């Protein structure tokens, strides 16, 4: 573990004014670190009593860093770093609030979006529950503990430099992170599966439905494969949260965590793009005005925000898996993962929220033909009666689907054609 500053009390070894001796210093620092400091200072340009020089001289610092890294264990290095940084007055970095506040605020907004979605499905608002809603219920059952654990992680010290965190807390943080990974990797595909089930409530065309089921299957495969990879990232399993100090009792083997994280992110972004683009071809062929067509396509592309967050999150993976300061470097990947999850839930709930707001505030969300379309798409209500109002053709067997009521007859025929 790297040292960025030299312990000020090391000067006490060389001056009686400090009224300290080697035995007293040995009670503060590990013997290996004390030996490195004592042997390095005489050959440096710093006087033994020049605390400012000892704390700031880069050559001396580098020499002691190398000595401690090769002579001390990780725990001894952390202890040394804690003592030296405190003695030299180094500022204490603290990002714990970034962990807890991001988790709680993001989770609260996502939960509110979920509640509004569920409200829009109530019969009073003309809604109907479907597989997309039940999938979202399962998703939220995972989002809630993920949100709560962000507070626990912050309380344990995630967001502080590793040398400021008790050793047992470091192990607990990695233990919680281990389970958080599986929860995170489950939420991502479940959100996309919910969106795909929403597509199935709208488009009856056989070829489109087959493609949608294929995308659902791909997301199920992602969930199973990457959760299993995460669970068995180390063998034995408990090495995932216990090997950080290099003192794991017995042999173990772990995956390349950095490569694993990048691969998982790449596959997830591919599925994001596929899910987002899935209905666009069908919508582009509808006989709508350009304005309406663009509006509908934007509504279906709202999930692109999740992909943007996923791309931003990639920068936080640069040090992930190769860090020597776990409790500090895991902060960014932690809160960006939480934001990604919350944004995904919010985007998946937006169509239903729009339907609810139109019902509650009709004067604000004026009832236009396009508005009726979005509302009926979002509510998921049976459509046969509305079809009769806009077309004098005989009823088609589309009672399970929600029509885009602002389309002309040719557009509806295109959607319904197998």
Q: 96-114+131-350 sits in which CATH class?
A: mainly alpha
**pTM, entire model:** 0.78
Phi and psi for 43 in degrees, rounded to 5?
-90, 5
In degrees, rounded to 5, the angle at the alpha carbon of residue 408 between the alpha carbons of residues 406 and 413 is: 115
- Which of 34-43, 184-193, 210-219, 282-291 is least confident? 282-291
Average pLDDT, the chain: 78
In degrees, rounded to 5, the angle at the alpha carbon of residue 360 between the alpha carbons of residues 339 and 388 is: 105
In degrees, rounded to 5, the angle at the alpha carbon of residue 211 between the alpha carbons of residues 341 and 410 is: 110
Residue 72 has pLDDT above 60, yes or no: yes
Helices (H), 128-250: 131-156, 167-200, 206-231, 239-242
Write out pLDDT tens, residues 357-407: 878 777 665 544 444 444 444 455 443 333 333 333 344 444 444 444 333
Comparing C-alpha atoms, which of 174, 187, 176, 146 is closest to residue 320? 174
β-partners of residue 235 are 253
Write out pLDDT tens, residues 110-131: 999 999 999 988 888 777 889 9
Q: Is the dihedral angle over the CA atoms 125, 128, 131, 132 positive or is it negative?
A: negative
Distance of CA 325 to the CA centre of its chain: 19
Comparing C-alpha atoms, which of 275, 273, 278 is closest to residue 310? 273
Write out pLDDT tens, residues 222-234: 999 999 999 999 9
β-partners of residue 15 are none
Q: Judge whether 282 and 415 are in contact, CB under 8 Å.
A: yes
* SS3 state of residue 234: strand
Q: Judge whether 345 and 110 are in contact, CB under 8 Å.
A: yes
> What is the spatial distance between Cα 113 and Cα 107, in angstroms, rounded to a whole number?
10
Query: In the chain, what are the domain boundaries?
Result: 8-87, 96-114+131-350, 358-416
């Amino acid at each position: 573990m790297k040292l960025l500053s030299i312990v000020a009390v090391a000067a006490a070894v060389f001056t009686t004014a400090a009224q300290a001796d080697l035995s007293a210093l040995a009670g503060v620092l590990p013997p290996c670190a004390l030996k490195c400091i004592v042997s390095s200072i005489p050959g440096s340009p710093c006087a033994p009593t020049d605390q400012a020089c000892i704390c700031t001289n880069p050559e001396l610092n580098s020499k002691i860093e190398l000595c401690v890294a090769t002579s001390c264990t990780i725990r001894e290095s952390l202890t040394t770093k804690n003592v030296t940084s405190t003695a030299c007055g180094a500022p204490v970095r603290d990002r714990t609030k970034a962990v807890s506040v991001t988790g709680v605020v993001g989770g609260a907004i996502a939960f509110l979006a979920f509640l509004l979605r569920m409200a829009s499905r109530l019969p009073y608002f003309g809604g109907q529950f479907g597989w997309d809603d039940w999938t979202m219920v399962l998703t939220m059952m995972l989002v809630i503990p993920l949100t709560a654990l962000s507070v626990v992680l912050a309380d344990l010290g995630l967001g502080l430099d590793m040398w400021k965190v008790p050793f047992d807390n470091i192990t607990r943080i990695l233990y919680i992170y281990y389970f958080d990974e599986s929860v995170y990797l489950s939420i991502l595909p479940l959100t996309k599966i919910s969106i795909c089930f929403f597509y199935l409530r709208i488009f009856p065309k056989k070829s489109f439905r087959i493609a949608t089921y294929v995308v659902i299957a791909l997301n199920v495969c992602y969930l199973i494969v990457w959760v299993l990879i995460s669970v068995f990232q180390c063998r034995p399993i408990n090495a995932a949260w216990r090997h950080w100090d290099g003192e794991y009792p017995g042999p173990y083997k772990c995956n390349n965590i950095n490569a694993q994280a990048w691969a998982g992110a790449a596959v997830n972004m591919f599925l994001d793009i596929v899910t987002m683009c899935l209905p666009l071809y069908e919508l582009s062929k509808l006989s709508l005005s350009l304005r309406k067509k663009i509006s509908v396509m934007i509504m279906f592309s709202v999930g692109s925000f999740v992909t943007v967050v996923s791309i931003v999150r990639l920068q936080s993976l640069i040090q992930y898996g190769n860090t020597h300061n776990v409790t500090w470097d895991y902060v960014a990947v932690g809160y960006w993962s939480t934001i990604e999850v919350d944004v995904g839930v919010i985007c998946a709930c937006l169509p239903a929220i729009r339907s609810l707001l139109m019902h509650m505030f009709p004067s604000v969300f004026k009832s236009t033909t396009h508005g009726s379309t979005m509302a009926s798409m979002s509510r998921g209500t049976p459509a046969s009666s509305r079809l009769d109002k806009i077309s004098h053709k005989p009823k088609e067997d589309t009672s399970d689907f929600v029509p885009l009521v602002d389309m002309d007859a040719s557009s509806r025929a295109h959607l319904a054609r197998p």
